[in-house]
Amino acid sequence: MNTLTRNLILIAAGLAMSAPTSALAQAPSGVWVSATAGRAAPSKLLAGGTENGKPLYICRGNHAGGVHPGKLVKGNCNIGYGGKELHLKNFTLLTKNANYRWVNASTRLPANTVYGGKEAKRPLAVCRAKFKGGTHPGKVVRSQCNIGYGGKEYTLKPFQVLTFVKPTIAPKTPPKVGRSIPQLRPVKPRPAPIPLIKAPVAKLDWVSTTAGKRVDNVLAGGREANGTALPVCMARHANGLHPGKVVKGNCNIGYGGKELYKKSYRVLVGTKAQVQWKPATFRGKYISGGYEGKDSRLVCRAKYKGGVHPGKLVNRKCNIGWGGKEIVLGDYELLFLK
């Protein structure tokens, strides 16, 4: 097999998994080759880190409607997702037939960042971070490098992102005719930086925060009986991500018959003009606030004890936390995009 034939096979293999977003085109020479757990990995792979002195190659695999970058470990593509380390058996691997460079992450991603996947239409950049004596490839999520390790998902700072460096081609010298004309060096346009996490105010998004930390443009989903606004939030617990309400700096959720108080959580940021509360019979695009096991959890709100309380939809009921207990309510509204 000659070199040209091999390159065509590699390119075809790489295109078998379509690019997650147009952002992936920023690494036009990057080739992802198909691989399956248990088979020998293709040669000339790009190593993104090390563990116990052994290279960790960059991979990506499909999961839950997205494409997630990770690391090749024992024949599987290990990714971080939903608080766990998942082992994917079908995946693709990034070859090093391009000019790549690792750069330290800052508040903005470089314009030439290599994107290895997507999650909910959001591109996922390839990153790596130091952890437990090794350097582990992963994906950039909300200004952090998410990796899988020891069965869990870890979010790490500081980290590096993978960038593509376009090779420079020297301009041809024109033949001399009479007087020599000095050749001007072409000015390379400066690429516009891409925001890493902080989106414009107009963008509807879930933003990570902790108790006592202020976040602007938070959307309120209800109010207490005394008129205090209740912003919409979601927090991790057990095997899920649960919608709830912000009360006294905590995200209060209903779970297992109790009201739980979470200090680390996400809040919904945007404007009132972007969302609408409607009955469950309304036809529109729901706003999902998380999941529990394999089931998604829609954001709901219901009237209770003189107030209106955000919560999560479970078995066609709106479950909220109140007074230390989980309350299940049958009369509710769901959150939709306008």
pLDDT digits 0-9 by tens, 173-208 = 554 544 444 555 665 555 555 444 333 344 688 889
pLDDT higher than 60, residue 262: yes
Which residue range(s) make up the domain with 24?
7-164
Instruction: State yes or no: pLDDT of 294 exceeds 90.
Output: no
Same domain, 153 and 212: no
Specify whether 228 is located in the same domain as 128.
Answer: no
Question: 149 has which bridge partners?
Answer: 152
Q: Is there a domain that residue 13 lies in?
A: yes
Q: Are residues 160 and 209 in the same domain?
A: no
Question: What's the pLDDT at 200?
Answer: 39
> Residue 258 pLDDT more than 70?
yes
Q: Which of 136, 164, 192 is the last residue of a domain?
A: 164
Check residue 99 and give its pLDDT. 83
Domain presence at residue 173: no
**Residue 38 sits in the same domain as residue 116:** yes
Residue 182: inside a domain, yes or no?
Answer: no
Would 186 be classed as within a structural domain? no
Residue 275 lies in a domain: yes
**Do 157 and 216 belong together in one domain?**
no
Q: What's the predicted TM-score (pTM) here?
A: 0.46
Residue 216 maps to a domain:
yes
User: Is 169 domain-assigned?
Assistant: no
My answer on whether 280 and 214 are in the same domain is: yes
**What is the count of structural domains for the chain?**
2
Say which range, 27-36, 142-151, 215-224, 270-279, has the weakest mean pLDDT: 27-36
Please report the pLDDT score of residue 41 as a whole number: 61
Q: Render pLDDT for 46-63 as a digit per residue (tens, 0 to 9).
A: 999 999 999 999 999 999
Query: Is 194 inside any structural domain?
Result: no
| Domain endpoint, select from 112, 133, 164 | 164
**Which value, in Å, is the radius of gyration of the alpha carbons in the chain?**
24
From 164, 197, 221, give the residue that closes a domain: 164
